[in-house]
Amino acid sequence: MSKKFNVTGLCIPEENYMVDISDRIDIICNDYVREGKYFTINRARQYGKTTTLYLLEQRLKEHYLVIRLSFEAADELFVSLYFLAMGLIRRISRILKVQGVERRILEEWNQPVSEAFPLDDLGERITSLCSSLDREVVLIIDEVDRNSDNQIFLSFLGLLRHKYLEQRQGSDRTFRSVILAGVYDVKNLKLKLHPEQESKYNSPWNIAADFTVNMDFMSEDIAVMLQEYEQDHHTGMDVMDMAEQIYDYTSGYPFLVSRICMLLDEVIARKADFSTKKSAWTKYGLTEAVKELVTESNTLFDDMVKKLDEYPELKKMLYMILFRGEKIPYNADVYAVNMGTMFGFLKNDQKTVAVSNRIFETRMYDLFLSEEVLESRIYKSAALDKNQFICDGELDMERVLERFTEAFQDIYTDADQTFVEENGRRFFLLYLKPIINGTGNYYVESRTRDMRRTDVIVDYKGKQYVCELKIWHGNEYNRRGEQQLIGYLDDYHLTTGYMVSFNFNKKKQVGVKRILVDGRMIVEAVV
């Protein structure tokens, strides 16, 4: 059976093309488990946690007895402390039996627990088990935050904490290491039980070591995976270049990396425009895969929409970053920043809050814009005119700028300066959306986005267009903007760039003009 890319559940090296994370597994084994640390692997949804735990279990089995559980679909355990104790005994018993633990130890483990003091009995059972075995025991629990808003779960964490401290003092025997995995940082669980400020960080899991292992897929990691694929399929792709391009879109978010590769292999390669894997694994094929990804429905994006609805402060912050170019200092103590980082939407970019990758950014732009299209006059104007912007299958970006300038002047002539400064970029993206929708896609270059300027990169059928959106702040600022745009044209190997200037000078000349700068053509629209 040939290998496939996989984005659902567990990835298995013998069956799936996957990034080699053996170096991460080595770090976890040596720096955490061997050192007897208790810790949480808290990462965003579909960040490879389950696969990491599976590979970690296989490695740890060489030296430890590993008990790996999941709290997914385990609601019945958290009805009472008694149910929790008996449920864990039953589940762990099955694991011990499979691993060949001798009958005498199993019989002692399986004894009924006291209904009056179930956690005490469970604690004694753990001590007896860990004392009787010839190997140390490691406990791994996945999906640990499924019941994290339950006081019974906190009591269980309290038991693990108490036994950990007692073992450190030499007065108890318990698990060598406990590894919990989930989205929420378990040290912050009382945030869900008691949202008052003083309770946020008061969790029984304050014994846990900080887990600092980088689980992102770097371009070098992606290249190793693609090299294995290339050896099987001989597409002729430039492996390192393709890996770097995938990383540029995803910033190494595991699900997004694997999903783009899956789309290239299974969807793009079967389209009429490509028809072979060789033609799919190209720059054009990659832009088509990204277009498919940012428009599809999947559990990751569904969860994103849900989280933005649940956390309006986070949604407001994202809107300010994306459309107004506001620079927000990164401070993990700020509630919205903490939540956004934990869910994988935000990152610390040189001490400034930024969206974690281009795919999320584009999806968020589309989400925010889709909430406005029904009421947007500028969107409707573009939708009516969209057929005139495609010539011989190519996007006529100069014509887009001409018609945008005319529509903007017609609709927003009387708008004040503050209104335009805060909404100009949003209006341009609303205008662009129906023109490229279904065929092209775009993203905003985060390195240049601020209150004054933004660079929009448009992909349309394999061809890229760089368009700078800026607020007019005098001739000198304008010349610097032209030079920065020239730099981007060089990066993308283009000779023509585009610029939209929102100008509040009463003597401005509205319209579109061509400017030759250092041998490159800049098409500038002034509105």
The predicted-structure confidence for 449-508, as pLDDT tens digits, reads as follows 666 678 899 999 889 999 999 888 777 777 887 888 888 898 888 999 999 998 888 778
Q: pLDDT value at position 191?
A: 47
pLDDT tens profile 415-460: 888 888 788 889 999 999 999 987 888 888 766 666 667 889 999 9
CA distance 239 to 225: 9
Q: Please report, for the chain, how many H helices and E strands are present, in that order.
A: 20, 14
Among 1, 8, 147, residue whose Cα is nearest residue 88: 147
Q: pLDDT value at position 180?
A: 95
CA distance 524 to 500: 6
Across-strand partners of 455? 445, 468
Cα distances (angstroms) measured from residue 523 to each of 11, 252, 459, 507:
48, 34, 18, 20
Q: Which residues of the chain have pLDDT under 70?
A: 1, 148-149, 187-203, 446-452
The encoded tokens of residue 513 equal 């003009």
275: CB partners within 8 A, 6+ apart? 269
CA distance 181 to 144: 6
Let me know: does 345 contact 304? Beta carbons within 8 Å.
yes
CA dihedral 226→227→228→229, nearest 10 degrees, is 50
The encoded tokens of residue 299 equal 């559990």
Q: pLDDT value at position 237?
A: 97
CA distance 525 to 527: 7
Let me know: does 33 contact 60? Beta carbons within 8 Å.
yes
Q: pLDDT value at position 201?
A: 46
Q: pLDDT value at position 247?
A: 97
CA distance 183 to 288: 31
